[in-house]
Structures are given as structure tokens and as C-alpha cells.
Amino acid sequence: MRALDAVTAERAEDAVLSVRGLTVRFRLRGGRTVDAVSDADFDLAAGECLALVGESGCGKSVLASALLGLLPGNAETSGTALLAGPDGRHGTGGETTDGGGAVDLLAADEKTLARTVRGRRVGLVPQSPAAHLTPVRTVRSHLEETVRALTGTARRARRGAAEEAAGRTAFPADHLDRHPHELSGGLAQRAATALALIGDARLLLADEPTTGLDRDLVDRTVDELRRHADDGRALLLITHDLAAAERIADRVAVMYAGRIVEIAPAHRFFGPVGPRHPYARGLLDALPDRAFAPIPGMPPELTDLPGGCAFAPRCPRATDLCATRPEPTAGVACHHPEHPRA
């Protein structure tokens, strides 16, 4: 693991989640391997929203699945992902019997993750909500059972708590008694978000939480997620929607070909200064309200990554130096970072 500078070390000390060297490798038939996530480093503090952005297939959802132990059997993980205890401590003594101590999410066993982490300490808004909803149960039943399991609310109060949770994500009350197959994609997404907010987990992973929503509902949904962070919790927002990220994020992490290539404060990233990695700059310039200029070429296949900088074949600033892999410097992994805009 690379040595941390003073600012990073201070941030790690106060973090709800501190990730170092997170790597996910998939074993394929024929002895091949795929590095879906490589050496991810970041910290996430209480009250903070970190937006993880990048093109489809870059490894964002794999990273979230690794944090919750939801990867398939052919996956191998390395690194650390330390989830602080409720008291904010990062002690290495391991998980306590009541699930209240610090825990390395990558090293924890399935029993610990299932009983004390998922839903209770880490909430998940899944990318594919239909796969996480039981088809034979109504939305109301899902919500009431989650209220019971996570909060211990008495039976008579569960109905009101479930309806309150649905209201937080603008899920219509007259659809609460419908089954998942009777919902549109957008309604299923709102139901899944309501489920994730129950219990007020200290860390919330929201994986594409605005899929299938119109702009007004996108804004309402991310505003509710922002309130979750403002109440002293941490939010990792995984999204293609840069407008949603700009609306609520404190910092932005850009992923390309399995690697985080830049982390920057949101006000700098979206403001006049702009991002410094050429790929991150290209993401912004591709937006219709900006230059509307697409990034040339296509992302590489993770089974056939080029040597050195993976973005070099698409980068107008690439030189022979880019045949070697750049290490992060001042938050950007690039041999030729963009100069800040005037």
C-alpha cells in the first residue's frame, strides 16, 4: 500500500469507510483473469457524499458489490475496506459480538456481513431493484418486514413507518399493495430506495439510484439521499448522471477501466477550474449543456487492457511516457494532467 500523505491520513482517521488497495479479480475459464477493480483508494466521512462516476463497465458496481460481499464465487478480492464502529473508531480488534465494532468489509465472513452489516450498518440501493424484491410479496410487506428487522418497531406502528419510508422516495401510497411485477422500473427503483433508507444505516451505497426516473423524481430522490448524509451519515453515490452528482456530491471519484483516475472536490470538478484527468474532462465536455463533444473511441475490454495508462489510446495528450502506468499525484493518475481552466 502506498504511503499516505498527511491530509489523506487525517481523512482516513475520521472516515466512516476507509478503502485501501481494493482490487477485484475474476477467474475465467482457461486460466484467464480479469482485473475489474485495481488498487482503489478513497475515504468517506460522516456527512459526506462521494460520487463515483464513469462509463458503463468500468467497475463501479463491482466495487460496491465487493464492499458488501456480494461478488460471485469466481471473484478474488484484496486490499482493505475498514468500516468504522459507531463510535468512529478504526481499531483492528475485529467485529464485536453485537456487530458494533470496526470491521474490514473485505475480510469479514458471510455470517458477519449478513447479520450485522448489510442493511444495518451499510444500506444498499441496488442497480437492479427487481432482482432484490421478492416477487410474491407486496411493496408494503417488504417495507414492514424491513422495519421490523432493522428497527424492532412494534407491529401496530410498522404500517405507519412503512408508509413514511415510501413517502421519503415519493413512492405512491396507492401502489403499496402491489407486487414487484406490477411496478414500472422507476417505481421499483423508488421502492428499493425506500427499503435502503429504513434503519438509517451509517453508510449508504446507492448504485444508479435514479435509473428510470424523470428529472423531477431524480432531483427528489438524490435530495433525499443527500439528507441521509446531512444527518451525519456517509453516502457513496454510483451514477452515470453527472447532473445528479453535481447536485449533491461533496467530492467526485472518476473510474476508468477498473481504476480510480481522479478524485476532486465537486465544486472544483464541476466549476470553472474543472477536472485534471483528460478522461474526466472528456466526460464533462460530452454533456449536452457543455461542449457536447463525445470522447473518441471506446473503453478497452477488461480482458485486454493496454499496458501503462488504459486511457492512452483515446487520449489527445498521450505520449510515449504513457506506456508506463501513472501513479496518483495530488488526486490524479495521469502523466499529463490538464491545466486548470482560467
What percent of the chain has a predicted confidence (pLDDT) above 90? 81
Per the domain annotation, does 18 fall within a domain? yes
pLDDT band at 12 (very low <50, low <70, confident <90, very high): low
Q: DSSP 3-state assignment of 128?
A: coil
Lowest mean pLDDT segment, chosen from 39-53, 92-106, 233-247, 253-267? 92-106
Residue 10 lies in a domain: yes
In this structure, is residue 142 part of a structural domain?
no
Mean pLDDT over each residue of the chain, to the nearest integer? 91
CATH of the domain at 83: 3.40.50.300
DSSP tally for the chain: helices H, then strands E: 10, 10
Going by C-alpha positions, the residue among 8, 87, 81 that lies closest to residue 40 is: 81
CA distances from 105 to 19, 43, 91 (A): 10, 14, 14
Domain count, the chain: 1
In a domain, 99, yes or no: yes
**The predicted structure's pLDDT at residue 89:** 62
Q: Mean pLDDT over residues 69-98, rounded?
A: 78
DSSP type of residue 329: B
pLDDT for residue 244? 97
| Residue 296 included in any domain | yes
The string of pLDDT tens digits covering residues 123-173 is: 999 988 877 899 999 999 999 999 999 998 998 899 999 999 999 999 999
The verdict on residue 200 lying in a domain is: no
> Residue 8: which pLDDT band, with cuts at 50, 70 and 90?
low
DSSP 313: G
Q: For position 1, what pLDDT does the model report?
A: 32
Confidence of residue 4 (pLDDT cuts 50, 70, 90): very low
Helices (H), the chain: 6-14, 60-67, 110-112, 139-151, 155-168, 185-197, 215-230, 242-248, 266-270, 278-285
Confidence class for position 16, pLDDT limits 50, 70, 90: very high
pLDDT of residue 14: 80
Each residue's pLDDT tens digit, 167-203:
999 999 999 999 999 999 999 999 999 999 998 999 9
d(CA 280, CA 221): 25
Query: Is 212 part of any domain?
Result: no
Domain encompassing residue 287: 1-110+237-342
pLDDT tens readout for residues 97-133: 345 689 999 999 999 999 999 999 999 999 888 778 9
pLDDT of res. 95: 45
- 163 in helix, strand or coil? helix
For cell 464502529, the residue is 85
pLDDT in tens, 23-34: 999 999 988 899
Q: Which residues contact 166 (CB under 8 A, 6 or more apart)?
A: 139, 143, 172, 173, 176, 190, 191, 194
Q: What gap in Å lies between CA 131 and CA 234, rounded to an integer?
A: 25
In a domain, 173, yes or no: no
